[in-house]
Amino acid sequence: MRTGVWLIGAHGNVATTAIVGARALAAGETETTGLVTARDPYARLDLPPVEEFVFGGHDISETSVLSTARSLAESATVPLNVVQAVSDDLERVEERITAGTTVNCGRAVEELASETMSGTSFSNAVDRIREDYRTFASEQNVDRLVVVNVSSTEPRLSSPERYDTLNAFERAIEEDDRELPASSLYAYAALVDDHPYINFTPSTGAALGGLKELAERTNVPHMGRDGKTGETLLKSALAPMFAQRNLQVLSWEGHNILGNADGQVLEDDANKAGKLASKGGVLDGILEGEFHNRVRIDYTPPLGDWKTAWDDIRFRGFLGTQMKMQFTWEGSDSVLAAPLVLDLVRLIAHADEHGEGGLQPQLASFFKSPLGVDEHDLSRQFDMLDSYVDRHEGET
Ligand SMILES: NC(=O)c1ccc[n+]([C@@H]2O[C@H](COP(=O)([O-])OP(=O)(O)OC[C@H]3O[C@@H](n4cnc5c(N)ncnc54)[C@H](O)[C@@H]3O)[C@@H](O)[C@H]2O)c1
């Protein structure tokens, strides 16, 4: 069984780090640290090996996977010797990357774009995307194609309820409804042709009633949205502790600074809105009562891919005594995200193999806003994945 991985945003940092990592694992140049599925109990599932993934993708920028990998090496996030060891592979992947569409991605993304299929009607764009998936799968002899959105964050959709049914969504494509975002066109093209779909970004993707209906009808697994990699991961691990000890959180102020292209796009308020919503929502889902909950994200170019988060938490204990906790998190955004992308491909391919279509709640721990799941407590989310493993253990 050959697994194809189609990355939307293939020239970006997360996509490139995932490709470099997978090829480095295949070449024995790195280890599996950071890959959730490499450890028990998840390693006991019959999952497709990362080493055998075949990559392709869409992008809208002129750069290449190899040049993004070299920039990541310059900023000391990905080791240069690893990039050198897999550079031939990266050049081969580049031949399978084609121009995407930027419809409704916002001004910040349009400024990045060089070659796109914009200007064509939405139905033509969807046909072209479907054709791109199909060509890749047949040329690469792929048995299953998993589509992963790792492209820049789009502005939020103002009235998603307009696309609550598949009929309404398909009519919107036919009528060239100028509100539909690119991420949903890519998602539709995947689900309609039975390709499992992951949305690692805060963009809309398949989070529309009409696309959920499509996935149910075609019995194709999909999940999103917004990978949980840094500050929000910590929040979902720490906030339950305050709740369980009956400590009353009065304020949680989180300030993030980052200097990569993602940070540059998030400088635009329209693109930033979705990210702020998914980062802020996690605490509301865990802590009870009113408290001051604020997240800031700012672009600081010299930081490159190193994201720094400072969090200041004020809380009240017994006898009304006020206390505080502060932490600083410094992570390489792409190095944290890339193994999760590989994990998600493995796990959604497993669901597809077992005929488990629709949303995949067992994958909630990977996302800031897990679709269809209200549980934000990290350890309870892992319990959901563990139960999934229990249900499948022993199968080959
Ligand atoms: N790094 C993390 O820890 C993390 C965590 C959660 C979510 N994310 C999300 O993952 C996404 C990717 O992050 P990144 O750091 O790789 O960003 P990036 O800016 O390095 O890469 C994004 C890529 O997408 C391309 N792109 C933009 N619009 C496109 C479109 N319509 N079609 C095809 N390609 C398009 C860009 O040209 C770029 O190459 C962002 O949305 C980010 O918010 C990242």
Give the distance (Å) from ligand 1 centre to CA of residue 110.
13
116 lines ligand 1 (CB under 6 A): no
204 lines ligand 1 (CB under 6 A): no
262 lines ligand 1 (CB under 6 A): yes
Mean per-residue pLDDT over the chain, rounded: 93
Contacts of 290 (CB under 8 A, 6+ apart): none
107 and 9 assigned to the same domain: yes
Give the per-residue pLDDT at 117: 55
Give the per-residue pLDDT at 396: 55
201 and 217 assigned to the same domain: yes
Give the distance (Å) from ligand 1 centre to CA of residue 113.
13
Say yes or no to pLDDT of 121 above 90. Answer: no
Closest ligand 1 atom, residue 58 Cα:
33
Among 310, 331, 352, the domain-final residue is 331
Degrees (nearest 5) of the Cα angle 235, 16, 367?
25
Give the distance (Å) from ligand 1 centre to CA of residue 10.
8
Query: 323-354: per-residue pLDDT in tens?
Result: 999 999 999 989 999 999 999 999 999 999 99
CATH number at 281 reads 3.30.360.10
Of all helices (H) and strands (E), which one includes residue 327? strand 322-332
339 lines ligand 1 (CB under 6 A): no
CA–CA distance, 39 with 176 (Å, rounded to integer)? 46
Number of independent structural domains in the chain: 2
Higher local confidence (pLDDT), 107 or 339: 339
246 and 223 assigned to the same domain: no
CATH number at 358 reads 3.40.50.720
Closest ligand 1 atom, residue 305 Cα:
15
Query: 210-229: per-residue pLDDT in tens?
Result: 999 999 999 999 999 999 99
40 and 189 assigned to the same domain: yes
pLDDT grade for 113, boundaries at 50, 70 and 90: confident
213 and 249 assigned to the same domain: no
322 and 343 assigned to the same domain: no
Task: Please spell the DSSP secondary structure of 55-122, one letter per residue.
Answer: EEEEE-SS--HHHHHHHHHHTTSS-HHHHHHTHHHHHHHHTTEEE---TTS-HHHHTT-SS--BTB-H
Q: Among the listed ranges 67-71, 177-181, 226-230, which one has the minimum average pLDDT value?
A: 177-181
For residue 119 the two structure tokens come to 């200007």
Give the per-residue pLDDT at 267: 81
253 and 128 assigned to the same domain: no
184 lines ligand 1 (CB under 6 A): no
Give the per-residue pLDDT at 285: 86
**Nearest-CA neighbor of 340 among 258, 229, 232?**
229
Query: 17-55: per-residue pLDDT in tens?
Result: 999 999 999 999 999 999 999 999 999 999 999 999 999
Higher local confidence (pLDDT), 297 or 359: 359
User: Which of left, alpha, beta for 389 (phi over 0: left; psi -120 to 50: alpha)?
Assistant: alpha
Among 288, 316, 331, the domain-final residue is 331
322 and 358 assigned to the same domain: no
Task: Report cis status (omega within 30 of 0) of the bond before 128.
Answer: no
Higher local confidence (pLDDT), 365 or 269: 365
58 lines ligand 1 (CB under 6 A): yes
Give the distance (Å) from ligand 1 centre to CA of residue 201.
7
CA–CA distance, 336 with 78 (Å, rounded to integer)? 11
Query: What is the number of other CB atoms lying within 10 angstroms of the CB of residue 182?
Result: 30
User: For the residues 355-378, what does the mean pLDDT come to?
Assistant: 97
Q: Among the listed ranges 76-90, 143-157, 259-273, which one has the minimum average pLDDT value?
A: 259-273
145 and 24 assigned to the same domain: yes
pTM of the entire predicted model: 0.95
207 and 124 assigned to the same domain: yes
CA–CA distance, 333 with 232 (Å, rounded to integer)? 12
Query: In testing the pocket of ligand 1, which one of 128, 152, 204 has its CB within 8 Å of the most ligand atoms?
Result: 152
User: For the residues 364-376, what does the mean pLDDT come to?
Assistant: 96
Say yes or no to pLDDT of 9 above 70. Answer: yes
Contacts of 110 (CB under 8 A, 6+ apart): 102
- The residue segments making up the domain with residue 123 are 3-227+335-392
179 and 65 assigned to the same domain: yes
Q: Which residue has the tokens 């940070």?
A: 263
CA–CA distance, 151 with 315 (Å, rounded to integer)? 37
91 and 162 assigned to the same domain: yes
59 lines ligand 1 (CB under 6 A): yes
Give the distance (Å) from ligand 1 centre to CA of residue 341.
12
Query: In testing the pocket of ligand 1, which one of 151, 185, 203 has its CB within 8 Å of the most ligand atoms?
Result: 151
Among 331, 359, 382, the domain-final residue is 331
Give the per-residue pLDDT at 116: 57
Do the Cβ atoms of 199 and 223 come closer than 8 Å?
Answer: yes
21 lines ligand 1 (CB under 6 A): no
CA–CA distance, 394 with 378 (Å, rounded to integer)? 26
Give the distance (Å) from ligand 1 centre to CA of residue 153.
6
